[in-house]
Structure 1
Amino acid sequence: MGRTVAPGEPEWTEEDTALAVEWQRIRDTTCAGCGQPLAECLTDDGGYETTVVRCHGCKAKEKRVEELGKVSDTAGVKVVVHRLPEDA
Structure 2
Amino acid sequence: MCGDEDGEFDVLKWWGLVGIKTFPIMALVINSILCITAASAMSENNFSDAGNTLTKKRNSRKPAHVNDLLFYQLNNDLRGLLTC
Normalising by the residue count of structure 2, what TM-score does the alignment of the two structures yield?
0.28
Larger radius of gyration, structure 1 or 2?
A: 1
Which structure is higher in helix share? 2
Normalising by the residue count of structure 1, what TM-score does the alignment of the two structures yield?
0.27
